[in-house]
């Protein structure tokens, strides 16, 4: 609750998620990743000034609460050993009672100019040698554990840093080594990247590591553009009263996400639909099995968001273009398909008439 108070008081006010006009595809991808972080994050590409950063940062208000070990810099779970730091695990093995606190899931912004030390953390060699302790200064990956790591303009980030982020996101661990001293800590986070395709695309191998891909474009409808400008003007003039207007819709969406997270483990994908998902991936010549896995997970999260425990073909149709289109590029110079190839193949395999 402290974070909520901070967001309303001292901290910079956040534009309400439910006040964002349009960009339904981007919003859906973000919500599905909050429901099931194992989907693997979102890559959002689109024109400048289309609300990419605003939408991602608006997600903060919708994030559910989690239990953490009080005072732990890695947001360790008090129950799950896989989500515990080494120190917390030792305390559990010693049968020590852990102080438990509740906090909202973290969202950490990674600045473009961040160094590897800032991202991964540093080891104080002098302290380690003189005092014989592993003195570790946690970085952004530690703060992002069990939360969200957001990289704006990810396509401008140094390739080496992108590799570090994706390796941590895939393995769930960050390892820092220096002068023969090695420290590891859990680093499980939802990786969200955004960028402008005019400034360059990510390598296909890196794109494949993002669970979903959302494309955003500039709104063309004059009426909608006027509405967006008016809403932004009202928010800038009085953020607090503007946010109050959306309290009800924000709570409704938050409750819907919480309910979806609660029933997610009960959601099933019928065998015949799983076979068809894999058939679509195979016929589109998608490398590896990540496309199959993400399509299954995203369709389950989508069904849970609708309040259902069985996935339908319509659920798969809603998410499949976002799960596969960025995996179709074989040549780094190719542009990403808008999703029509995926939709056409889906219609063919699932027997939908166009």
| Alpha helices for 102-238 (secondary structure H) | 116-120, 125-131, 140-144, 159-171, 204-207, 222-237
Cα 32 from Cα 91, distance rounded (Å): 35
Picking from 291, 112, 292, 297, the residue whose alpha carbon sits closest to that of residue 210 is: 291
Collect contacts of 350-354 with beta carbons under 8 A, ≥24 apart: 350/276, 350/280, 350/313, 350/316, 350/317, 352/313, 352/317
- Is there a catalytic annotation at residue 325? no
Q: Could you give the dihedral angle defined by the CA atoms of residues 143, 147, 153 and 156, in that order, rounded to the nearest 10 degrees?
A: 60
3-state helix, strand, coil in the chain (%, to 5): 50, 15, 30
Picking from 172, 214, 187, the residue whose alpha carbon sits closest to that of residue 298 is: 214
**From the candidates 146, 188, 243, 290, which is the catalytic residue?**
290
What would the two tokens of residue 267 be?
Answer: 């959601």
Cα 17 from Cα 315, distance rounded (Å): 23
Residue 43 in contact with residue 202, Cβ under 8 Å? yes
Residue 322 in contact with residue 29, Cβ under 8 Å? yes
Picking from 225, 206, 187, the residue whose alpha carbon sits closest to that of residue 326 is: 206
Q: Which residues are paired to 183 by β-bridges? A: 176
**Catalytically active residues, by annotation:** 290
């Amino acid at each position: 609750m402290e974070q909520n108070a901070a967001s309303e008081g001292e901290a910079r006010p956040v534009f309400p998620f439910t006040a964002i006009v349009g960009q339904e595809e981007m919003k859906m991808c973000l919500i599905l990743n909050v429901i099931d972080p194992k989907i693997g994050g979102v890559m959002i590409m689109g024109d400048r000034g289309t609300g990419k950063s605003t939408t991602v940062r608006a997600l903060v208000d919708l994030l559910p609460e989690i239990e953490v070990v009080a005072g732990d810099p890695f947001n360790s779970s008090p129950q799950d050993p896989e989500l515990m730091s080494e120190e917390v695990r030792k305390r559990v093995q010693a049968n020590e009672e852990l102080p438990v606190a509740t906090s909202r899931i973290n969202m950490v912004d990674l600045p473009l100019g961040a160094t590897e030390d800032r991202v991964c953390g540093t080891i104080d060699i002098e302290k380690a040698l003189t005092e014989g302790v592993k003195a570790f200064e946690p970085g952004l990956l530690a703060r992002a554990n069990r939360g969200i790591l957001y990289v704006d303009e990810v396509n401008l980030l140094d390739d080496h840093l992108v590799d570090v982020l994706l390796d941590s996101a895939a393995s769930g661990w960050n390892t820092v080594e220096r002068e023969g001293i090695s420290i590891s800590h859990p680093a499980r986070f939802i990786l969200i990247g955004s960028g402008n395709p005019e400034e360059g695309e990510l390598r296909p191998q890196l794109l494949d590591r993002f669970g979903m891909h959302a494309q955003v474009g500039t709104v063309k409808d004059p009426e909608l553009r006027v509405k967006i400008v008016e809403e932004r003007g009202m928010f800038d003039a009085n953020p607090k009263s503007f946010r109050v207007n959306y309290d009800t819709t924000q709570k409704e969406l938050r409750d819907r996400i919480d309910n979806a997270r609660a029933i997610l483990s009960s959601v099933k994908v019928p065998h015949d639909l799983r076979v068809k998902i894999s058939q679509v991936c195979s016929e589109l010549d998608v490398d590896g099995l990540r496309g199959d896995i993400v399509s299954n997970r995203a369709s389950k999260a989508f069904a849970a968001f609708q309040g259902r425990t069985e996935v339908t073909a319509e659920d798969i149709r809603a998410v499949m273009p976002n799960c596969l289109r960025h995996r179709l590029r074989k040549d780094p110079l190719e542009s990403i398909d808008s999703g029509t190839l995926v939709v056409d193949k889906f219609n063919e395999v699932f027997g939908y008439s166009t």
